[in-house]
Each structure stands twice: as C-alpha cells, then as structure tokens.
Amino acid sequence: MTVLNTEVIPDVAALAHALRKRMPWAPAQKALQAHGLPRGRGWDLTVAKLVTPGTLAPDQIVAMQQLLVDHELCGEKLIRLYQMDAELKATLIRQLRSIDIQPNVFTACYPTGLSDAEIEENNSFPLQIAAIVEADGGLAVVFSTIRGLIFREEVDPDSLPPAAREALSYYDQVLGVRQERRQTFEVVYLPYEGDLVDIRVDYPDGMLRAAAQTAHAQVRQAFNEFVGCEALSTPLNLFHLISSMYEAPNEGTVVELAFGTTTASTKYEKMRRSLLCLRQEVYHRAGKQALAAPIEPFRVSIQWLVSLTDDVYSRPELSLQSTQMARDSEAPTLFDAVIRNTTGDRDYNFIRGRLEHFLAAITTAETLESMDVVG
Amino acid sequence: MLSADELKLKINRIWGVAPGAMLSLRIIDFLTSVPSEQLSMLTFGNLCRVVGKPEPDKDLLTAINILVSSKVQVLETHMLFIDDNKDEHEIDLKDLQETRRSGVFIHPRTGEMINNFEAHFVPFFVPSQSLREGN
C-alpha cells in the first residue's frame, strides 16, 4: 500500500505544474473553488497565486495534493468495466493491501510525477505500478508509464519566415501536428462493494482512441500478471446503454447523439449551447415523431449537474461512442466509456453509479426475458 | 415590461423610419410569432433570412444594434468561441464582460490565454427575458 506522508509538506510549485499539465481548466477551477483554494482567470494567474509564498496554509497544500491524486485516479479517462467474482475480489484486495511495491522511478515521484526534463532525458519507461492507494470506497492500483500524445494545433503564419509564409499563402489555415511525451496514470479500481472492477486509462484531448485502447490491453495484462491469475478477462459490453440512457427522459442532459433511421440516413446531432438537452430539441422531436420506426442511437454524450458544495456545481460528461457499422452488425459491442470534466471521485463515482444502474437494468430485463422463454 | 407593439412604437419614436429601424420592427414580428423554444440561438445568418437579405449589411447591423440597445433590450447578445480544433464553447456572460473589460480571453477548456481571440468569436442572439415576459 502507498500511504501519502501528510507530515511532509509537498512542493507547491511541482503540484501546481502537474495539475496545470493534466487537468482541463473547466473542472480544475470548480475543484479549486470547492476545496477553498485560490484561483485566478486561467492557469497563468491561478498558478501564480498558488505558488506565491505564504498563500497556502499547510492543510491547503495537502488538499491540493489530494486534488491531483483524485485527478490521476478519475480525470479524463477512457474506462472499461469488468465483472469479478466477489470472493476473488476480496482476496485480491486483501493481498494488494499488504504488498510493498518494488521501488521504481514512478513510486519515487508519486503523485506529482516526473518533471518534463526527466521525461525528455529517458527514452524507455516500462509500465510499472506507481502506487496502491485507498480510493473512495475501494482500492486503486495505479500504473504509470510515458506515452506519446498527438496534438493538432493552428500555426500563426506571421510566426513563420517570409519564404514559408509565401509558400503557404494559398491556405486559409495552417495546422501543425505536435507530439508530446507525457506520464500517464492508469488505474485498476477494485471497489469494496459490488462486482464491477474498472480499468481507467488517461485519455486527454488530442489522444488517439486506438492508443488508449492499446494502453487498456497493456494495463489489463500487467494487472493479471501481477496478481498471478486471469482476474480481468472480457470487459462488459456497454453498447445497449447508448439507447437505454438516451431513452431515459430524466437522465442528465444529452449534448450529443448519433443515430441511424429506417429511412436510410445517419444523423449526427449536437447541442451548441450549454444546459440544453437534445431530447427536448424541437427538430429532434419532430423528426422522431415523423418516423414510424424508432431511431437507432449508436453514439451519445450526457452531462449531469453535480453539486460539490452548496454553491459549486460541476458538469461531468459521459460519452459512449460507437459507429453506425457496429449498430448494424449482428452483435454490436462497445467496451469503452469516456468520462470527462470530472473534478474528482465524487463526479466519477456518480457517473460510474449511473453505468452500474443501467447495466443492472439490462441484466434484469435479460433475465426476465429468458424466464419467459423457459416458461 | 413592454409588449411588442409598445416596443415597436418606442423604436419608431427614437429611430424614426430609417431602414435599420424598419428592419428591427420586422425582426420583432418574427420573434413574437415563433415559439420561444425555437429561438435558442439566432445567428447573423438566421436574421438575414428573417429580413430577406443574402448577407448582413449596414441596415441589418443597425437593426441588431437597436434591438440589443439598453433602450429596448429586445435581444441579448451571446458568444461562441470556436477553437483551433473547431470545437465550440459558449462563453459565460460574466466571462464575456470580463473579457471585454480586460481585453484578455481565457480558453474555457484549457485555461490558457488566447491571442487574437476576436477572430474566434461568433456572436448569436436570443430574445431577452423582458421580451419573453412582455408577450
């Protein structure tokens, strides 16, 4: 087990830098506010405030460290859920709690992570356990490695030499592709209650989904090797949650939806304004009403308003992103759920709870159906 | 709270029968004839269609200025920020006021300062609370 030493005051500058690097601003500012930590407009002013000597009391610095730990466990993740026998889970939790992790480059710098210079200096970092920590209602095994992320950014032509500017003058917009190496935190979470275990891998903006799926496979294999058995085998199929969550009228705010129709069309719809729900949008409702057959959703994003304090609310988002091709197949499958904009475990567990609820509803419906067949 | 007819009289009294003022009256007629749930986002393009113009011109801009002015407050101005990835972000009205006051805009997702942010802004309009309540 990793127990963070709260007697030693962490390095505020390193914490602030790590938070800025990992956490999108929208949830970060809500989390800072909810923890009573100072913030300014944007990261520049916020970091300047946080690192000013004497600004933070020791307990605030510890709170900031916890905010980073929570983000590494719950923030900007692509997740998969696995069913695990209760007895096996209890045994694994007992074993994992008593393990002393082999010290490595990641354990030494947990939770702040390696500095940019350390990442640049070293070419190879195999996937290793950085920590085993008590998380909200469960145990989290945190793996770490360095992965390359790809970002697409606009290039300001004025920043280019005259010859390059001239050569590119035909184009309205010039885009550059930047690769960045970043330390990732990939988590196997074993809750004390329930029979679902999740693997959560980092999925920041700009990361290719295929790369996150590769990370998943690596973490699953590493965990199984570590515990010495095939504890995590096949992830649960989340595909049917796309329709069932969309069709539940009061289930958050649907901000994005893609679906097929029996009139041979595929529709992609997205709300352009905050807090407005596609389910109630006039064009969407009228289109559905005009069809005799139901629409067939294959992609949905839902936001919820979660209360962090009496006056601070966050807006975590779940995306279940499949394809028309999968929808049309005989046995559509979707293993990945994307969870973004979480301020910490409260938001994450809220969405996880919704997934559990809808999975249980589907399992109950299937059980009743099979009983009907038998009867 | 003024009714649509009272607002139109007020516009007529202040701005007379200038082309922009006349267009603003047509926009009020449109706003009061359409269910409010269908008026969540009116862009320049939408308003061009309402008044039968192929593209925004000086008269339409004058009409919009009249409708957002504090004297009649028929429309509220909102703003979308479209980033380099073409992702759209609605800007909170308080942040918009702060941006206008300070000249500094912070990307709502990344928290980083954006240079030349005006080029990434797209305004849109919604009927004001007072118009909705007055009709």
Considering only residues A195 and A207, tell me which one the structure prediction assigns the higher pLDDT.
A195
A20 touches chain B (CB under 8 A): yes
What is the share, in percent, of chain A residues with pLDDT greater than 70?
96
Mean pLDDT value across chain B: 93
Higher pLDDT: B37 or A175? It is B37
User: What is the per-residue pLDDT for A362?
Assistant: 81
B1 or A351: whose pLDDT is higher?
A351
- Per-residue pLDDT of A119-133, as tens digits, reads 988 777 889 999 999
Query: Average pLDDT, stretch A351-363?
Result: 92
The mean-pLDDT minimum among A149-163, A178-192, B96-110 falls in A149-163
Of B37, B41, B113, the CB nearest to A44: B113
Q: Tell me if chain A has a CB within 8 Å of the CB of B110.
A: yes
Can you give the pLDDT at residue A72?
97
Average pLDDT over residues A74-95: 96
Q: How long a stretch of residues is chain B?
A: 135
- B36 vs A254, higher pLDDT: A254
What is each CA distance from A24 to A76, A203, A245, B15, in whole angstroms? 8, 12, 26, 47
d(CA B38, nearest CA chain A) in Å = 7
pTM of the complete model: 0.91
Please indicate if any CB of chain B lies within 8 Å of the CB of A154. yes
User: Which residue of chain B comes nearest to A206, CA vs CA?
Assistant: B85
**Sequence-ordered list of residues with C-beta below 8 angstroms from that of A241, at least 6 positions apart, any chain:** A320, A355, A358, A359, A362
Structure confidence at residue A315 (pLDDT): 96
State the complex-level ipTM: 0.88
Q: What confidence tens digit (pLDDT) does each residue in B4-17 have?
A: 899 999 999 999 99
Say if residue A375's pLDDT is above 60.
Answer: no
Q: Which residues contact A375 (CB under 8 A, 6 or more apart)?
A: none
**Domain residue spans of chain B:** 4-77+125-134, 79-122
**DSSP code, position B113:** B
Whether the predicted pLDDT of B118 surpasses 80: yes
Q: Distances in Å between the alpha carbon of A253 and those of A21, A266, A317, B1, B7?
A: 29, 22, 9, 32, 35
Q: Which A positions 202-221 lie with beta carbon below 8 A of chain B?
A: 205
Give me the residue from A24, A153, A274 closest to B84, CB to CB. Answer: A153
Q: Mean per-residue pLDDT for A228-240? A: 96
Q: Considering only CB atoms, which chain A residues are within 8 Å of B41?
A: 272-273
